[in-house]
A and B are shown apart, each in its own frame.
Chain A
Amino acid sequence: EAAVTQSPRNKVTVTGGNVTLSCRQTNSHNYMYWYRQDTGHGLRLIHYSYGAGNLQIGDVPDGYKATRTTQEDFFLLLELASPSQTSLYFCASSGGAQDTQYFGPGTRLLVL
């Protein structure tokens, strides 16, 4: 069974704060993704990566940075958090094109 873990599971910060969300997968997958889920929008892709050191821009990248340090680890950075970034964030991994994506448990972020 594919394994994707995220930390923290819940996070509260203030406007202008600095937040790092972490994701680790033990599936030996090359592809990793960061999504946000908001009511009325479904899941929207923020950034994704093909492998260590690679970064691709998703559909809603503004205000987010990401870094893929190893095959296993993918980080999402909010350097100046805003209330509009309050959301449920999911990380996922997959083996590549046409492959199933495996999702982590999610991180709920509240920006006050």
Chain B
Amino acid sequence: AQSVDQPDAHVTLSEGASLELRCSYSYSAAPYLFWYVQYPGQSLQFLLKYITGDTVVKGTKGFEAEFRKSNSSFNLKKSPAHWSDSAKYFCALEGQGTGSKLSFGKGAKLTVSP
């Protein structure tokens, strides 16, 4: 079985601060991990993914994430945050041999105040 947990449903911070959205996963083998973003009223857009190799991956819009096998985490980071980063962020896991089937976390709504 595979699952993803995003423990912070709502995150609020001020523009210019550093943001970190937490994601933890449960999976018995090496996971493939993704972050997607959903702006208000829009669909989901891909941000970045970890497949193998370098544990720090860089994505679009200035975001990066670090894969930590030791504590089963894949946290999303950006510094500084901008008001336009306000959106809902989803972490997702693809298990090996699952035919690209993704399991999503419940999402974290980020509000960045100007």
Contacts and interface: CB of A to CB of B under 8 A. Distances in A.
Interface residues of B, number: 23
Given A101-B46, A105-B43, A56 B104 contact: no
Interface stretch (B13-21, B63-71, B78-86, B95-103): B95-103
Given A31-B100, A42-B104, A45-B102, A98 B94 contact: yes
A76 to B, nearest CB: 16
A100 B49 contact: yes
A103 interface: yes
Interface string A33-70: 10000001111110010100000101100000000000
Interface of A: 31, 33, 40-45, 48, 50, 56, 58-59, 90, 92, 94, 96-106
Given A42-B90, A98-B94, A100-B49, A48 B99 contact: yes
Contacts of A58: 101
Given A48-B101, A99-B100, A100-B49, A41 B106 contact: yes
Contact of B43 (A42, A100, A106): A106
Nearest to A92: B44
A100 B101 contact: no
B39 interface: no
Count chain A CB atoms within 10 A of each CB in B42, B92, B100, B105 and give the residue with the most. B100
Contacts of A98: 32, 49, 51, 94, 100
Count chain B CB atoms within 10 A of each CB in A31, A41, A43, A106 and give the residue with the most. A43
Closest 6 CB pairs of A and B: A42-B106, A43-B104, A42-B104, A103-B44, A103-B43, A100-B46
Nearest to B108: A42
B94 to A, nearest CB: 7
